[in-house]
Amino acid sequence: MDQKLLFLINRDWTSPALDSFMATLSCFAAWVPFVLIAIVLLWVCGGFKARAMLLSLAIVIAVSNTVVSDTIKKIVNRPRPRDSLPDLRVVDLQPSTFRFLSIFKPPVVTPSMPGSSDLAGHSFPSGHTINNFSAAMVFTLFYRRRGWLYFIPAALVAYSRVYVGAHWPSDVVTSAFLGIGVTLFVISILEWAWRKYAARWVPSLHARHPGLLGGVSA
């Protein structure tokens, strides 16, 4: 079932327009300038809630990447589809010093070549999926009705990882739940720590914002 769905997404449900769109979604390096601009704007203009959200998100992503994703990758060591199956479409943006410029160029589509590299298995979990679903969960916890909308681009990024041949469908589905679970666990610890210890560290700030989530004001 996993392989059948992979073939449908990667080989059948495709088009040149989708190749460009999915390659762009799947390449985080292309989005770095825009992400940095958004972070700066939120930090400067967003007030306490935005700063608390950004710091919480940074901690969540750090835990997701270094503790969860990297550890599981080493234990499971599952090869990527493009490294284990022939005749898959490997879709990527064109090489460029500044990857965001590749958004405006046609993507590169090449056939998979199993055995052409000695890379260890890095298919499960999907770091892109964990990070984006973690971000969606953080946004939801801090911004409620507006924050959950990020689950839409998070799901598209997860789909794109299958489309470009980087992950199996089961990788991204499981990784989405991992991202949500890790986020809920980490945020609960941060909320507890803020309520218990922030009064000692930053009493005036804690008096105005007794909680990171509930009852915070911009």
What tens digit of pLDDT does each residue of 126-143 get?
999 999 999 999 999 999
181 in a structural domain:
yes
Looking at the chain, the whole-number percentage of residues with pLDDT higher than 90 is 74
Query: Would you state the pLDDT for residue 116?
Result: 58
Query: Would you state the pLDDT for residue 121?
Result: 66
36 in a structural domain:
yes
Question: Domain span at residue 49?
Answer: 2-208
216 in a structural domain:
no
34 in a structural domain:
yes
38 in a structural domain:
yes
214 in a structural domain:
no
Answer positive or negative: Cα dihedral of 23, 24, 30, 32: negative
- Please give the mean pLDDT across all residues of the chain: 91
Domain count, the chain: 1
Could you tell me the two tokens for 127? 């770091």
215 in a structural domain:
no
Query: Would you state the pLDDT for residue 150?
Result: 96
The half-sphere exposure of 33 on its side-chain side, counting CA atoms within 13 A, is 7
The half-sphere exposure of 35 on its side-chain side, counting CA atoms within 13 A, is 12
218 in a structural domain:
no
Q: Give tens-digit pLDDT for 120-129.
A: 568 999 999 9
